Amino acid sequence: MRFKDRVRELRSSKNLTLKNLAEKTGLSVSYLSDVERGNTNPSLNTIEVIADALEVSVQNLITGVEFAEELDINALPEGLQDLINDERYAEHLNDDWISLLNQIQMRGKRPQTKDDWLELYLHLKRVLGD
């Protein structure tokens, strides 16, 4: 299931309109519509806000969710490639983790350096209890 479909499914199951969800999250209706149409990749903070508004954990919201159609290792940002090639983390970063990391933003921007990507990865591991 794609993230956009998961958000729409949960919102509908709680009988919330986009306007209701916007009020609960503080996000705009147009932004949430873009999320549900797959036109934008939400940041980690936004994923947390949406999960809270839908009364589910972040783990529940994103477990089993596909953030990208197909993972192209050669098209990954340099800092993420550096993290993947670090032998301390390489065995933990499977395709699901790499895809997830590649699709989200942190504090409204994409991580740049290996350390930025590591910070995002470790934060997600804590949030997901993984």
Domain of 50: which CATH number?
1.10.260.40
Taking the whole predicted model, whether its pTM rises above 0.75 is answered as no
In the three-class reduction of DSSP (H, G, I as helix; E, B as strand; rest coil), residue 14 is classed as: coil
Residues 51 and 77 placed together within one structural domain of the fold? no
In tens, the pLDDT along 52-79 reads 999 999 888 887 776 555 556 667 888 9
Q: Which residues of the chain have pLDDT under 70?
A: 66-74, 105-108, 130
Amino acid at 97: W
Q: Domain count of the chain? A: 2
Same domain assignment for residues 57 and 97: no
So what's the pLDDT on residue 42?
85
DSSP string for 43-95: BHHHHHHHHHHTTS-HHHHHTT-BS-SS--GGGS-HHHHHHHH-TTTTTT--H
Distance, in Å, from the CA atom of 123 to the CA atom of 4, rounded to the nearest integer, reads 22
